[in-house]
Amino acid sequence: MENRARVLIDCEDAKGLVYKISKVFYDRGLNIDNNREVVDKERKRFFMRTVVTGIFDAKELQDELKSAVSKDAHIKVIEPKNKKIILMVTKESHALGDILVRHSDGELDADIECVISNHNVLGTLVSRFDIPFVCIPADGLSREEHESRVMATIDKFKFDYIVLAKYMRILTPTFVEAYETKIINIHHSFLPAFIGANPYKQAFERGVKIIGATAHFVTNDLDEGPIIAQDIIPVNHRLSWRDMQRAGSDGEKIVLSRALNLVLHDRVFVNGNKTVIF
């Protein structure tokens, strides 16, 4: 029975890499269904995403590919299946609701393990989709104490990504480092402009002509992690900052959905503080 896999390769650039990698596939009798590659000339890094079909063992194929390229190579052979995600929210429903509907309609290509919140506000919404909802209030707790309880819940699950679907709390370095490159955030601004609190009001006061939304991986540099997806919405002087905020909510859920689709289908490489998107 034929297998199918996404092969992701990130390594130091060198001559003949495409030939060497393709030869491994050819020698194993595998068919290349789709292939894209790019070189970051400044960092001298090579990135390649290939979809192959045929009869193979994923571990053996990965080992053979490692022997064909540089020793520093990061290689993944991923057989397509639904990834597992955990959602974290506070009070706003638009991003969460969009993800829940897409999941219910079979469009998400992911399994939602649970929804974690620091408020009970969205519990009724989540219960309609038969997904576990865990409320961990932060009242009376230090940030570290609260996060410790959140992490204890998260660590009960096997998961691929944590999605901050409007989770309105700044995460500590301990939390971020525990789930490095696994946390995806939607920011209600066209980063790197207007980071931090109330970016719509900042944008209004600056008199901008566009607003936007940015989905990015979370790092310990606030709102400055590698960007996955962005989009913009034209605005003008007739809109108040609250009008901008309402318009921006639609952009946020669309951008987050686009970012999730890219990540869940293994189309994103982290390249320093940037991403390579295939």
Is 90 exceeded by the pLDDT of residue 250? no
* Domain made up of 83-277: CATH architecture: 3-Layer(aba) Sandwich (3.40)
Name the pTM for this structure: 0.90
What are residue 84's DSSP bridge partners? Answer: 111
Taking only the tens place, the pLDDT of each residue in 163-206 is: 999 999 999 999 999 999 999 999 876 555 666 666 767 777 77
Residues labelled catalytic = 223
What are residue 10's DSSP bridge partners? Answer: 47, 74
Taking only the tens place, the pLDDT of each residue in 122-154 is: 999 999 999 999 999 999 999 999 999 999 999
Q: Which CATH superfamily is domain 3-78 in?
A: ACT domain (3.30.70.260)
Taking only the tens place, the pLDDT of each residue in 7-65 is: 999 999 999 999 999 999 999 999 999 999 999 999 999 999 999 999 999 999 999 99
- In the chain, CATH 3.40.50.170 sits at 83-277
260: which residues sit within 8 A by CB, 6+ positions away? Answer: 85, 99, 108, 110, 163, 184, 215
